[in-house]
Chains A and B, each alone.
Chain A
Amino acid sequence: MAQAIAPVEPVQTWRRFLTQETIVTVIVGLIVAVAVILPLITLVVSSFLVLDDLGFDTEWGLENYILLYTDRVIPKAIFNTFIISSGTMILATFLGVSLAWINARTNCPWADYLEPYNLIPFFLSPFVGAIAWHNLASPRIGLLNVWYRDFFGAEGYLLNVDNLWGVIWVTGLFFTPLVYLFVIGSLRRMDPSLEDSARTTGAGLLRTTLTITLPLVTPAILSGAIIVFVTSAGEFGVPFKLAAPYGWETLTTQIFTKAVGDDANHYLGATMSMVLGVITVILIWVQRVYIAPRSYTTVTGKGFRPNVLDLGKWKWVAFGFNLSYIFVAVVLPIFCLFIVSLHPVWTAEIIPSDMSMNNYVKTLFWWREDSIRAATDGIINSFILAFSGASIAMVLALVVSYMIHRTKGFGSKVLDILCVIPIGFPGIVLAMGVLVTYIQTPIYATLWILLLGYITRFFPYGQRNIASIMLAISEELDQSSRMSGATWFTTLRRITIPLLKPGIFAGWVLLFVIFLRELSISIILYSTGTETISVGVYYLANFENEALTSALSMTQTVVLLICIYIFRRVAGKEALSA
């Protein structure tokens, strides 16, 4: 047994830097830095390039920015964007806060069963929601309006979503879960004795709610509201479907018009993206610097049993309210899509004898002659992109999380900031950056440019999923593996990754879902042959009929619902509120 231990030769200084750890982290760090920063710099630079009248040459100048004020359409588009964002923010905040309060703090019946359904819109495509609501409540062919005319023998229409209010209605419904998640986490983590002590001190229920509970969740409400404002400012699908065709342009629909098409002016598109970008940066900065640090309730990590308010018979009102939300945000749109998709053409009339699955055949069976390429290619491309994109992004996310949370120094701080930037940025802005950066390179018009756009924009979501688990796992588990003699890579493979497995898989499914429904990046970066599902839906909505559009939308929705089910099974109830 007595073996002589050979002395370990000291390694030369420069070789000490060439460890597995530094090589991998430096390479990944550089990739992330280039992927995130390059498009943004190019975007800023291009916004100062002015295209001449012939559309061939460019020169430096501020004309694009001047156009923001002088153009016939753009100033109105900016104004409309503000209207939509403000309206959506108010609606989503109202719904999100009420639903969160009902679920976290009242004895609303069956709240446990309702809760997962409140989150479904978070995973579905707002664009598809807009299509569904168009079929439900457009003045002429809207199913609800048809029923209104039939039942009451009335003229005209009851509801009209083909305007800014319709956009606000649909985006509001779909972004409610964003506020809901912020607020419900805050309500659940709040120490109940904060409210108990107000009661014992002599304040009644109403006074306690107004002076203690509400102020304590205000930071969470404001955070949620700001995220909703920024997200709806960057939302493309809904205004494109419900507002632009009826004369209400927004920034995103204008960027799309300038970025795609025959007389495309990428540079003006870049300038308009700057407006959206600046709004985003300012609001996200306000949220992170002024609001997030005031978040009182996240300080304690203790598990509390929140105070539950007995609503008496009002609990049925609360239950009805929650049920109504699920009905108008999830059930009604999906039901409408399904009904419409069964008809050969949608004439605002349910004709059982005409119903068939033909539209599904046309949009799904790619081997058939009469299949529609934009749809079938879109499905295949989306699956390729979602699968490879989620996988690559999670590898990146893993290494980046490791660098941020397990290494110290300048690099980890820079990466942390780099990971925050894409999270707030509207997809369409980032896509403009990616477009102007890579338009001259061979990856333009391939799936690669879409993949690059997807990963850049969304890998921070995966990174957050991993980071939350990584922060909960003691660093000493890694360190003891190294002490036992394992290399960095072996430690990663045998210890770190197995421990993070639930987080990695949950993040993967989340990204898979996001990529499957992605529209605002795809619509800027796709070209013939590289359509995605959402682009396919856009194509059908523009060039085919409502019935075909609904069939593809329905397909996408079903796939997403299956993914949500898997996500919940894997990630557990708490995964999203973390």
Chain B
Amino acid sequence: MIDAQSSMVEITHLEKRFGAEIAVEDFNLSVGKGEFVTLLGPSGCGKTTTLRSIAGLEKLDAGEIRIGQNIVVSADKNIFLDPELREIGMVFQSYAVWPHMTVFDNVAYGLRVRGTKASDLKKKTTYALELVGLDHLADRFATKLSGGQQQRVALARAICYEPNVILFDEPLSNLDAKLREQMRDEIVKLQKEVGITSIFVTHDQSEALVMSDRIVVMDKAVIQQIGDPKSIYSNPVNSFVANFIGVANLFQGKLIGVEGTECQIEINFGNALATKKLLSTGGDNLNLGQQVFLSVRPEDIKLSTKKSTGNVEANCIEGIVLDTVYLGNFLECRVKIGSHEMIVQIDHFEQLDKGQTVYVSFLPQHGLTLPN
């Protein structure tokens, strides 16, 4: 991973409480120079609080944050640097573009407060505006711009004075779907171009997967998993991560056997099948007899009208088609298995009737055993 020398932001044992409520607990993260890290989680999970703590907009109850060479806040050493001294840039959800200034003045603000020479100021501001493609609107008042343009102003304003790190607080969630994708790609492109260290907060898993070098998944004030998008998606460490990133079918069961990488789980579907033994991977640190979750992605499940043979036979379950939803390039089919439901993604267009008996199956390596 990233060694301490090259890390730009180092957060250790961060803790923040609002009254009795714990917002963030024991948060540890090291962000490398030029890295794009996303804090992902449902609302109220503490991701924005963490970001605001890095910015200096919230005070800490415990822990320490270092940005570049400076310890900007430390609860133990009683250090607290005001936001303006931290050499950061921040982009807010509500754009926060100042309505009483022109686009140019908005972007140049950071340079002005740093006492930059007039010629440099003009050059750097114009460069930042060119980067976001707004140089032709420099003299416009910021409130006359569209949402997407305002967010670009906010972005240019944050990068203009070349801060050590740029913080994004759900900057895309006020934009409409089409614009959101476009801005998402632009931010990534710009970030790579300028090479600036970025910490991005979002509740949108697709944003996180597309944009990030690494993702920090948070829930209930605690980090659940840190990893690159691929490993987070294919190797979630628990049922929360599995379910939050993409769609997962989760079944609760009992671990009854482990053989090499494969483990056997007993699941009670509550119907004629009663209990069914399924094979999956993972479960290295789990004990036999323990309650576990089995997670399968909809796209990893095979569906057929006949009972399948071969090595997947062990993971073949009978079910009834509840309904199918047409989603453009694929079909999504809900299959009822006893008292449970399973979502299966199918790309071939076979005729499936409601109530029809079908067989779902998946390879053991596509099933993942997760701790309860």
Contact = CB atoms under 8 A, between A and B. Distances in A.
Nearest to B100: A215
A449 B5 CA distance: 85
A296 B158 contact: no
Contact of B90 (A194, A200, A203, A215): A200
15 contacts: A193-B94, A193-B96, A196-B57, A196-B96, A197-B90, A198-B98, A198-B109, A200-B57, A200-B83, A202-B84, A202-B161, A207-B113, A212-B98, A215-B100, A300-B94
B56 A199 contact: yes
B92 A201 contact: no
B308 interface: no
B151 to A, nearest CB: 12
Nearest to B87: A202
Contacts of B158: 200-201
Contacts of A204: 82, 84, 113
B99 interface: yes
Contact of B143 (A198, A201, A296): A296
A23 interface: no
Interface in B89-111: 89-90, 92-94, 96, 98-100, 109-110
B114 interface: yes
Interface string A205-222: 101000110011000000
B96 A197 contact: yes
Contact of B82 (A205, A296, A302): A205
Contacts of A193: 92-94, 96, 169
Contact of B96 (A194, A203, A205, A207): A194
Contact of A201 (B99, B110, B169): B110
Contacts of A302: 94
A125 to B, nearest CB: 39
Given A196-B57, A199-B57, A200-B84, A216 B157 contact: no
A531 interface: no
B112 to A, nearest CB: 9
A300 B98 CA distance: 13
A546 interface: no
A200 B89 contact: yes
A235 interface: no
B90 A216 contact: no
B55 A201 contact: no
A191 interface: yes
Nearest to A205: B82
Contacts of B109: 198, 201, 203, 211
B88 interface: yes
Nearest to B166: A200
A196 B90 contact: yes
A205 B55 CA distance: 15
A191 B94 contact: yes
B154 interface: yes
Contacts of B154: 197
**Residue of B57, B84, B143 contacting most chain A CB atoms (<10 Å):** B84
A203 B85 CA distance: 9
A201 B161 contact: yes
A193 B91 CA distance: 9
Contact of B157 (A196, A197, A211, A299): A197
Contacts of A198: 98, 109
Given A191-B96, A193-B94, 18 more contacts: A196-B57, A196-B92, A196-B96, A197-B90, A197-B92, A199-B82, A200-B86, A200-B89, A201-B89, A201-B109, A201-B113, A202-B114, A202-B161, A203-B113, A216-B98, A296-B99, A299-B143, A300-B94
B11 interface: no
- Which range holds the interface residue count of chain A? 20 to 34
- Which range holds the interface residue count of chain B? 20 to 34
Interface string A337-372: 000000000000000000000000000000000000
B87 to A, nearest CB: 8
Contacts of A207: 113
B167 interface: yes
Interface string A222-245: 000000000000000000000000
B330 to A, nearest CB: 38
A202 B161 CA distance: 9
Interface in A64-96: none
Contacts of B93: 193
A200 B113 contact: no
Contacts of A215: 100
Contacts of B86: 200
Interface in A152-209: 191, 193-194, 196-205, 207
A296 B113 contact: no
A303 to B, nearest CB: 12
A424 to B, nearest CB: 26
A466 B50 CA distance: 43
A216 B57 CA distance: 21
Nearest to B54: A200
A36 to B, nearest CB: 35
Interface in A291-328: 296, 299-300, 302
Interface string A474-513: 0000000000000000000000000000000000000000
Nearest to A310: B59
A191 B55 CA distance: 17
Contact of A202 (B110, B143, B167): B110
Nearest to B92: A193
Contacts of B143: 296, 299
Contacts of A196: 55, 57, 83, 90, 92, 96
Given A193-B94, A207-B113, A216-B100, A200 B161 contact: no
Nearest to A216: B100
Interface string B311-355: 000000000000000000000000000000000000000000000
B227 to A, nearest CB: 28
A207 B109 CA distance: 11
A211 B84 CA distance: 14
Contacts of A199: 56-57, 82-84
A457 B44 CA distance: 51
A202 B143 CA distance: 22
B60 to A, nearest CB: 15
A194 B113 contact: no
Interface string B152-166: 001001100100000
Nearest to B105: A211
CB-CB nearest 8 A-B residue pairs: A200-B90, A193-B96, A199-B83, A193-B92, A296-B99, A201-B110, A197-B96, A203-B113
B100 A200 contact: no
A198 B105 CA distance: 12
A50 B321 CA distance: 96
A365 to B, nearest CB: 56
Contacts of A200: 55-57, 83-84, 86, 88-90, 158, 167
Contacts of A212: 98
A205 B110 CA distance: 14
Contacts of B84: 199-204
A302 B92 CA distance: 15
Nearest to B154: A197
A216 B83 contact: no
Contacts of B110: 201-202
Contact of B98 (A194, A205, A299): A194
A300 B161 CA distance: 29
Contacts of A191: 94, 96
Contacts of A216: 98-100
Nearest to A199: B83
Contacts of A203: 84, 109, 113
A473 to B, nearest CB: 26
A196 B98 CA distance: 11
A351 B5 CA distance: 83
B102 to A, nearest CB: 13
Contacts of B100: 215-216, 296
A194 B92 CA distance: 9
A296 to B, nearest CB: 4
A201 B99 CA distance: 16
